[in-house]
Structure 1
Amino acid sequence: MTAGIASFQSNKVFLKDILGAINECKIQLPDFQRGWVWDDNRIRSLLSSVSLSFPIGAVMMLETGNTECRFKPRPIEGLPLESDVEPDKLILDGQQRLTALFQALIKPGAVVTEDIKKKTIFRHYYFDIEKCLDPNEDREECIRSISDDKCVRNFRGEVIEDYSTLEKEYAAGLFPVKQVYDSFTWKEGYDEYWDYDKTKMRTFNQFYKEIIQRFEQYQLPVIEMGRDTPKEAVCLVFEKVNTGGVTLTVFELLTATFAADNFSLRDDWQKIAQRFAREEVLRKIPSDDFLQAVTLLATMKRYREHVDGTDPDGRAPAISCKRKDILKLKLDDYREHRDAVVEGFLKAAKFLRMQKIFISRDLPYRTQIVPLAATLAVLGDEADNDTVRKLLSRWYWCGVFGELYGSTIESRFSKDLPELIAWARGGDEPTAVKEATFSGARLEELTSRRSAAYKGIFALMMRDGCEDFRSGQPIDITSYYDENVDIHHIFPRKWCDDHANEQDINRHGAEVDCIINKAPLSARTNRMIGGSAPSAYLQRIEKNEGIPAERLDQILRSHVIDPEALRNDDFWAFYDQRYEEILDRIEAAMGKPVIREEVETV
């Protein structure tokens, strides 16, 4: 259950005071906050709203000082990246608005922003004094956005307006937005420039009352969460109020937490990812998956310490890797288990190669690698034992064909780890193995890589020694890449379409595109097959490749294909026989019976 917020308060605070605290680094950002991204038009719109005393929304801050909820702080953009000042508060909501106002009103120099094409530009902002006092003018149109050198140019690059000196600002009646909290100094120069002209002075006084004073008196609602707020609640609140709608990953949040102890999780993950990149099947493993495996080991250690009496206080802690558990991960926990988990993932890649799963695209479930890697991390050399490897293989295929790792996976992970370790050491079957079932009717529904079981049968055929029709080679990692092996039709779709009525192919909903009518073949073999009848392409292979009919029949049987049915172009004889044989293979892989249903025959 998510922890609640023990205390928070809501007050109205002067904008000037908030920006002052930001400038002094008393208010900073938690490191998980993303960069500032507001464009020029949004800044002008924000300045317009404040100048009219329109509400711009509340901001939310977290009081610092909780040793259990520490985030590395960083100053708001526009200030030096590093600060020796310990902040009193961290901004959870309102970063974009406060950064825009700080840069436009306080920070010296031009504001670094973007135009509508996302191109970086540098801008100074001015109020046109006369226009601001005209009730018929749109306030946004009264705010000028001018380039870094304070000049306006035409399309030929010629300067047509120049406000690069105070005198030129006075002459044009353009008041720099950065002077709103120090308008007296600018006004002195303005009055002197106009020789204390009463009309100009009255105009400026009215401008002060209607514009500048609104900035001086503007208050923002500030919701402040107390320092006793749990980290999980902080993260949840941040995501709820994040108007960008982008969920923070646990990796980003832990990066900010570990950074408070001067440890760069991001840099460490880059090193790990570089090692994983050497294994094609691990290249797309995200950092959050790695952290889940680390958390499984850390929570299992705490659980065992409790059971063994080392840490007997309270209830036994759960073995878990849910988001809230990862967020509780300490740097010491991470350091303790990091290396073992890295090795666990690398061993998982080796295990998957043995199952003929070579690349991430062919992974039935990426998520299933998490408990596998965690288990291998704990078992270490024990996993090299043939009996243990067979048990892990059985669990793996039960997960694939039972289609167990598509949803609610974290709770399954927490069972897998202790149960797999116990099973490897002589204990009972894991829950995943007991619960896994496969129905023969499912075979006809497996038509694309979107299904884990579809990819599983593809890999299982290769693991069990299927050979390429043309070359007769078993598929290993070298031939897989060199020959561009993929899943291809046995009875070509074109032939099936042409003979659909003759063979009544779709009579009971059988899918020409289902896995029963597909096999792992090289790209070259598939081109040789084309859209021909099986009888024709088999003769072509025999003739062109010099393969005897008996040898080709042997190759076909390695794919659990009946050679006679294929040579006779008998779709249903082929289909019914292969349906049964594929189920036999699945039963052998899962180590348990599947649910068989009779396939309607012609």
Structure 2
Amino acid sequence: MSFRTAEPALKDVLDGIASGQIQLPDFQRGWVWDDNHIRSLISSLTLSYPIGAVMFLEAGGVPFKPRLFAGVSLQPAPAPKTLVLDGQQRLTSLYLALRSGQPVPTRTEKGADIRRVYFLDMAKCLDESADREEAVLSIPETLQISSDFGRKIELDVSTPELQYSQRLFPVALLFDIQRFMAWESGFSAHYQFAAEAMQFMQRFRHEIWQRFHEFKVPVIELSKNTPREAVCQIFEKVNTGGVTLTVFELMTATFAADEFNLRQDWEARRKRLTAKHDVLKAVDGTSFLTAVTLLASYRRHKEQGTPVSCKRADVLKLTLAEFKSLESALEQGFKRAAELLAEEKIFDARSLPYATQLIPLSTICAYLGERTTQHGVKQKLLRWYWCGVLGELYGGANETRFAMDIQDVVAWVDGGGEPRTVRDANFAPTRLLSLQSRLAAAYKGLAALLMKHGARDFVSGTPIDLNTYFNNAIDIHHVFPRAWCEKQKLPKEKWNSVVNKAPLAAGTNRFISGDAPSVYLARIQKAKQVAPDSLDEFLASHVIPVQALRSDDFDSFIRQRAAALLKLIEQAMGKAIAGRDSEETIKAFGAELSS
């Protein structure tokens, strides 16, 4: 990668923007600067203050689709010589205000859309004691400032004569030499060529107008040989707006160079994916591209023995041809994954333990195809999945694990040894007490395991399926109510843990209220006509120790339910949990958690 530095005149840069020789890569966000930013920028130029360097990329290398700057209209747009990586907001503001010849479409500090024309208060510009920002006037496109709902005109610059008399100069004339000279002549004539006015205009020309023409823009220009990933990293490091550039945005610009609209393709695909599978709302465009890259890399690995990788740099190397050859398979893979998760009672994005784990799961499903419906294959997939969730192995940067898992799981399905994710996964009994909210993947995983176990609503006795989950607003609620626990001064680490939680309908939770279990269970039996034996069955479906709950024995309830939850975890992970009788466990729960 090489670069050069230069200091072109601001006028030449703005001319390049106007001619289309300087454009933006399509991944750049839209122009967003407000009116105050623009006024401040113009005031800096009147003082020859630096406005910061800009970064260009020589066109002709990485095939980013270019687009013209805001305010530039050329049909057809020419091929650019230069793309702007950093400096878009400043250069767009200056082009619109100084060069476009049109009112500037900007916004107020509060975000209201406005159109403005900028003027310089010539006297204030020449007064060293004056606040220079106050010398830059922002005036509506009507060229009038009014009050009292438009009935009173406070300032009118709608004609050159009014501009001359108030000594307000339109900045749009700064780089238009013919119009500037005409305005200058008109100014002198307006004052009948009086010596004071002539000297005033001459000072303005030398001290202000000339500064704009002599202003240089520091430029760093990257060569066209700069790799796409380097362009991405540089953009993120130097972009003054602190904008993070996503892989999806970069690839959208790259594919657009081949006349393929990735954003439009993804929006249509997202609608198809989420039409029947709410859980797939957790998938974004970057995740889908990562999955396509993972599948492409794995296929190359199988054919050529190359390493499997789907890191950011790998996604950026994905070709449009590769994308088109695999996108349908991946779409089906995500749908198969969603169907598999629905069988595990994971119905929506909110209850999904790890959105990231959807990437390898869907890619594996895409590769295996119809084989995922075979019982033996499905059991291995589910065991790997639950080991990832309950072992909490997908919480950090995961691209390396994605690559490892697709190789390991497919090999396991084909008769190989257990995947490393299965071997590495473990669950400590005391972790149950620190699972306090949906922020933890294992917390959501346990709720799903309870529903899969056959958890039935306390009041209706209805098992939880796709329809009841959404229709009855199933959520995770306290079994010993929070209000009662706080009144009894019980330890929050226990009563707010997953051990004291169960998936219940919103209406049932309201019916439980804040009473002791013995009270609300009696109320359910009487008010809802539920037989005690039936209610006991409903409770047992949540692996709740019935007698401990009915007698309000909180400590026994916590110990017995923790042991029962560990059994569910063991079944899902396909391995025994160590530490049930450890000192740490006994200290936390007051006794061993015997199986």
Provide the rounded CA distance (Å) in 1 between the counterparts of 2:77 and 2:482. 69
- Residues 81 and 388 of structure 1: CA distance in aligned 2, closer, same or farther (over 3 Å): farther
Deviation of residue 431 (structure 1)?
A: 1.1
Q: Write the letter of the residue equivalent to 1:170.
A: Y
Q: TM-score, normalised by structure 2?
A: 0.94
What is the CA–CA distance in structure 2 between the aligned matches of 1:154 and 1:105, rounded to whole Å? Answer: 27
Matched, 1:373 2:362: yes
Q: Distance in 1 between matches of 2:517 and 2:161?
A: 89
Match of 1:144 among 137, 143, 147: 137
CA shift, 1:458, in A, is: 0.6
Tell me if 1:388 matches 2:371. no
**Following TM superposition, by how much is the alpha carbon of 1:291 offset from its aligned partner in structure 2, in angstroms?**
1.2
Q: 1:573 to 1:252 in 2, by over 3 A?
A: same
- Contact residue 494 and residue 558 of structure 2 kept, 8 A: no
Q: Match for residue 313 of structure 1?
A: none
Cα distance in structure 1, aligned partners of 2:75 and 2:109: 31
- SS of aligned partner of 1:60: strand
SS in 1 for 2:430: helix
Deviation track 1:127-183 (CA, whole Å, cap 9, x = no partner) reads: 222332222222222222222121222334132432222233223322221211212
Structure-to-structure mapping, 1:341-360, within 5 angstroms: 341-360=330-349
Q: Quick check: 2:20–2:74 contact (8 Å CA) kept in 1? A: no
Which residue identity does 1:91 align to in structure 2? V
1:114-263 matches, cutoff 5 A: 114-157=107-150, 158-181=152-175, 182=177, 183-263=180-260
| Matches for 1:283-302 after TM superposition, within 5 Å | 283-302=281-300
Residues in 2 aligned to 1:137 and 1:569: alpha-carbon distance in whole angstroms: 77
SS of aligned partner of 1:261: coil
The alpha carbon displacement at 1:113 in A equals 1.5
Q: Which residue of 1 aligns with 2:67?
A: 74
What's the counterpart of residue 526 of structure 1?
509
1:303 maps onto 2:286 in alignment: no
Note the C-alpha offset of 1:536.
2.9
- RMSD of equivalent CA atoms: 1.8
Distance 2:376 2:506 in 1: 36
TM-score (normalizing by structure 1): 0.93
Aligned ranges 1:365-514 → 2 under 5 Å: 365-500=354-489, 505-506=490-491, 511-514=494-497
The 10-residue stretch of structure 1 (397-406 or 472-481) with the greater mean CA deviation from structure 2: 472-481
What is the deviation of 1:512? 1.1
Deviation string 1:60-95 (CA, Å, 9 cap, x unpaired) is 1000111xx111111111112764311000001111
Cα deviation, residue 347, structure 1 = 1.1
Range 532-541 or range 172-181, more displaced: 532-541
Q: 1:192 to 1:534 in 2, by over 3 A?
A: closer
Instruction: Indicate if the aligned counterparts of 1:64 and 1:227 stay in contact, CA closer than 8 A.
Output: yes
Of stretches 474-483 and 527-536 in structure 1, the one that deviates more from structure 2 is 527-536
Contact kept? 2:408, 2:418, Cα under 8 Å: yes
1:581 aligned onto 2:578: no
Change (3 A) 1:575 1:227: same
Alignment correspondent of 1:269: 266
2:14 corresponds in structure 1 to 19
| 1:320 to 2:309 alignment | yes
CA distance in 2 between counterparts of 1:424 and 1:177 reads 71
1:98-147 deviation line (CA, Å, top 9, x unaligned): 11111111111211212222212222222222332222222222222222
Which 10-residue stretch deviates more, 527-536 or 36-45? Answer: 527-536
Q: C-alpha separation between the residues in 1 aligned to 2:45 and 2:487?
A: 71
Q: 1:496 to 1:124 in 2, by over 3 A?
A: closer
Task: State the SS of the aligned residue for 1:229.
Answer: coil
Asked if 1 retains the 8 angstrom alpha-carbon contact of 2:248 and 2:285, the reply is yes
Cα distance in 2, alignment partners of residues 319 and 333 from structure 1 = 15
When residues 553 and 115 of structure 1 are mapped into structure 2, their CA distance, relative to the original with a 3 A threshold, is closer
Task: Tell me how far apart the structure 2 counterparts of residues 72 and 348 of structure 1 sit (CA, whole Å).
Answer: 34
CA change 1:75–1:582 in 2 (3 A) is: same
Matching residue of 2:24: 29
> Per the alignment, in what secondary structure is the counterpart of residue 220 of structure 2?
strand
Cα gap change, 1:235 to 1:353, in 2 (>3 Å)? same
User: How far is 1:479 from its partner?
Assistant: 1.6
Q: Does 1:557 align with 2:552?
A: no
Partner residue of 1:87 out of 59, 64, 80: 80
Q: Secondary structure at the match of 1:376?
A: helix
Per-residue deviation at 1:495? 3.1
- The answer to whether 1:362 aligns with 2:355 is no
For 1:325 and 1:368, the matched residues in 2 are separated by 18
CA contact (8 A) 1:562 1:578 kept: yes
Indicate yes or no: 2:5 matched with 1:10: yes
* Mapped contact 2:25–2:67 kept (Cα < 8 A): yes
Letter in 2 for 1:45: S
Show CA shifts across 1:181-235 (max 9, x none): 2122322232333333333222111111101111111111110101110111111
Asked whether the equivalents of residues 74 and 83 of structure 1 are also in contact (C-alpha less than 8 Å), the reply is: no
Identity percentage of aligned residues: 47
Count of residues paired in the alignment:
580
Cα distance in 1 for residues equivalent to 2:458 and 2:242: 51
Matched to 2:166, the amino acid is: A
- Distance in 1 of aligned mates of 2:554 and 2:94: 72
Structure 1, 210-219 or 124-133: larger mean CA deviation: 124-133
SS in 2 for 1:205: helix
TM-superposed deviation, 1:539: 2.7
Tell me the alpha carbon deviations over residues 521-559 of structure 1, each in whole angstroms, 9 at most, x when there is no partner: 222322332233323333332333333333332222222
Give 2:57's match in structure 1, choosing from 57, 62, 65: 62
Question: Residue type matched to 2:120 in 1?
Answer: F
Alignment partners' CA distance in 2, 1:197 and 1:472: 97
The CA deviation string for residues 239-280 of structure 1, in whole angstroms up to 9 with x for no partner, is: 111111121111111111111111111100110111122221
Gaps (5+ residues) in structure 2?
Answer: none
Question: In 2 relative to 1, CA 413–203 (structure 1 residues): closer, same or farther, beyond 3 Å?
Answer: same
What's the CA shift string for 1:540-597, capped at 9, x where partnerless? 3233333333333222222222222222322233222222111111101100111233
Letter in 2 for 1:290: F
1:296 is matched by which residue type in structure 2? L
- Residue 386 of structure 1, CA deviation: 0.8
